[in-house]
């Protein structure tokens, strides 16, 4: 968390120091550059980051390769999906 806060402050400082000179140099086109970064960030979030809404913590842990459930992955996934037949088959 400290590293994330530090990097946030550092990059905000850099943007704050560069922005006046960039705006003076290219005027209103500086907003096009900022908009480009926003669109890139939106595309990155939409196409690259994994959607975790509606999933249990166990499912998310397995999806990201957490080894906490390495011996009972099938059981956790069967319970999360609510498939009674799979749960009974895995436990048997």
How many CA atoms are closer than 13 Å to the CA of 88, on its beta-carbon side?
Answer: 3
Does the pLDDT of residue 65 top 70, yes or no? yes
Separation of alpha carbons 67 and 75, rounded Å: 14
Regarding pTM above 0.85, the answer is: no
Q: Which residue has the higher pLDDT, 52 or 21?
A: 21
* Average pLDDT of the residues of the chain: 83
Taking alpha carbons only, the member of 83, 61, 87 closest to residue 75 is 87
Reported confidence tier of residue 7, pLDDT bands at 50, 70, 90: very high
What tokens appear for 24 in the block?
A: 């003076």
Helix axis angle for 2-26 and 29-47, nearest 10°, is 150
């Amino acid at each position: 968390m400290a590293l994330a806060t530090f990097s946030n402050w550092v990059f905000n400082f850099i943007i704050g120091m560069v922005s006046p000179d960039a705006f003076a140099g290219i005027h209103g086109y500086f907003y096009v550059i900022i908009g480009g970064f926003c669109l890139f960030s939106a595309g990155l979030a939409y196409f690259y980051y994994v959607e975790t809404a509606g999933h249990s913590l166990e499912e998310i842990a397995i999806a990201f390769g957490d080894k906490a459930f390495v011996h009972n992955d099938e059981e956790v996934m069967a319970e999360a999906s609510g498939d009674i037949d799979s749960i009974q088959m895995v436990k048997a």
